[in-house]
Amino acid sequence: MAARCITLSYSPSLAWLLCCLTDRFFLELIFFNFRLGSAWFSLSLIISHVQAIRDAQAHALSADQTACVFGEDVAFGGVFRATMGLAEEFGRERVFNTPLTEQGIVGFGIGMADMGHTAVAELQFADYIFPAYDQIVNEAAKYNYRSGGTFSAGKLTIRSPCMSVGHGGHYHSQSVEQFFMPVPGLKVVIPRSPLQAKGLLLSSIRDPNPVIFLEPKILYRSSVEHVPEDDFTLPLSSAETVVEGADITLLSWGAPLYSCAQAMEMLKNPGPGVAQHVPQSLRDAKVELIDLRTILPWDREAIVKSVNKTQRIVIVHEAPVTAGVGAEIGAHIQERCFLRLEAPVCRIGGWDTPFPLHEAFYKPEAVRILDGLVRTLTY
């Protein structure tokens, strides 16, 4: 059983203590947050990233009787437990396993979506999305266009864990969002937290276009926060300003946002071994941190507005810098903000090598992001 309590005033420390006293990792605490002077209260959960994804799928299945969830080991709960208990709750006719064939899973989902079902397909790792690339790019994304609107795969959502995990290597740690950037008719979403994961996944499932929903697996159990228990959505193609600033824009998505936050703290309070590389004049710099959230189509206006204000930008992603999402964003900024820029667009990303087992060296850690901030601010 999940630990449950009712409180009239929210206490984060009490919440965490009660979580620790339970034998459940997923931190299922329910709080009634009573608002004095108002006639309503809100119901929320403290849950992990992976459970937020599970809950979003449960809401989708409950609200839409045509919805189905399927993939490798999905009925079992999934390799990361993102579908835990869904088969028992909604039946194995709606939550079921598939053969180990990514192109088959996506092709099956396209057919289901075209026949009117809401299809949520899970690919066990984003690294294995490439066998399904033709199905996604030439079928799902183009189906509506090539049929003149007669057919559509718009009710298809493809979930897949992505990004580094600590030891995944070539086949379990890649970032793949850049491979879908030039594909019209497709949307690509990457959440950074449980709240974002639930709201954005429900929006993706209900969007009239096929969506690739990429989940940073390193956050599955390390990211925990309050999430509304009820069904709710967050807008797609809408970037979020996480921290407002005036001197430089720091743009990222998914797991690297946490490294960006560390870099911001290091800029403000550089420790031993770093202080000599951070001029005193930069330590009060106001960094504007933005979560892109939807990679395709991305929120151009929000980014342009921020860069026109700060006149500098550092873009961070785990995928290689060459032909990465940052390259497309940088090109657009050059077109729209050229006369306002005080420094070249800076990109911090993975190296141009296959993804190694030594992930800490490959991915953009806080020190590398800090270096990009310092170089851009002092240009």
Model pLDDT for residues 76-96, shown as the tens digit of each residue: 999 999 999 999 999 999 999
The answer to whether residue 323 scores a pLDDT higher than 80 is yes
Among 122-126, 179-183, 272-276, the least confident range: 272-276
List the structure tokens of 132. 């399904």
Among 101-115, 159-173, 184-198, 250-264, the least confident range: 159-173
Q: Tell me the per-residue pLDDT of 130-178, one tens digit each, with 9 for 90 and over.
A: 999 999 999 999 999 999 999 999 999 999 999 998 888 888 999 999 9
The answer to whether residue 21 scores a pLDDT higher than 80 is no
> Can you give the pLDDT at residue 8?
29
**Does residue 147 fall inside a structural domain?**
yes
| Structure-model confidence comparison of residues 203 and 273, the more confident one | 203
CATH code at position 279: 3.40.50.920
List the structure tokens of 7. 């409180």
* Confidence class for position 14, pLDDT limits 50, 70, 90: very low
The answer to whether residue 276 scores a pLDDT higher than 60 is yes
Same domain flag for 123 and 271: no
- Among the listed residues 102, 139, 288, 359, the single catalytic one is 102
In sequence order, what are the residues at sequence separation of 6 or more whose Cβ sits closer than 8 angstroms to the Cβ of residue 103? 131, 132, 134, 135
> Can you give the pLDDT at residue 223?
85
* Confidence class for position 2, pLDDT limits 50, 70, 90: very low
> Can you give the pLDDT at residue 43?
77
The structure's pTM equals 0.89
Same domain flag for 207 and 94: yes
* % of the chain exceeding 70 in pLDDT: 89
341: nearest Cα among 354, 350, 332: 332
Q: Tell me the per-residue pLDDT of 187-215, one tens digit each, with 9 for 90 and over.
A: 999 999 999 999 999 999 999 999 999 99
> Can you give the pLDDT at residue 168?
84
**Does residue 5 fall inside a structural domain?**
no
Same domain flag for 211 and 292: no
Same domain flag for 85 and 161: yes
The answer to whether residue 10 scores a pLDDT higher than 80 is no
- Among the listed residues 172, 317, 318, 359, the single catalytic one is 172
User: Which domain covers residue 282, as residue numbers?
Assistant: 240-377
Q: Which of 194, 228, 262 is the last residue of a domain?
A: 228
The answer to whether residue 29 scores a pLDDT higher than 50 is no
User: What's the rounded Cα separation, in Å, for the pair 310 and 346?
Assistant: 14
335 is catalytic: no
* Confidence class for position 42, pLDDT limits 50, 70, 90: low
**Does residue 373 fall inside a structural domain?**
yes
**Does residue 107 fall inside a structural domain?**
yes
Q: At what angle do helices 300-310 and 325-337 cross, to 10 degrees?
A: 60
Same domain flag for 177 and 268: no
| Structure-model confidence comparison of residues 330 and 24, the more confident one | 330
Same domain flag for 135 and 152: yes
Number of domains present in the structure of the chain: 3
Q: Which of 205, 228, 251 is the last residue of a domain?
A: 228
**Does residue 278 fall inside a structural domain?**
yes
Same domain flag for 192 and 128: yes
Same domain flag for 244 and 208: no
**Does residue 96 fall inside a structural domain?**
yes
Same domain flag for 359 and 268: yes
Same domain flag for 293 and 188: no
CATH code at position 53: 3.40.50.970
Same domain flag for 66 and 186: yes
**Does residue 6 fall inside a structural domain?**
no
Q: Is the peptide bond before 297 cis (omega within 30 degrees of 0)?
A: yes
**Does residue 3 fall inside a structural domain?**
no
Same domain flag for 63 and 210: yes
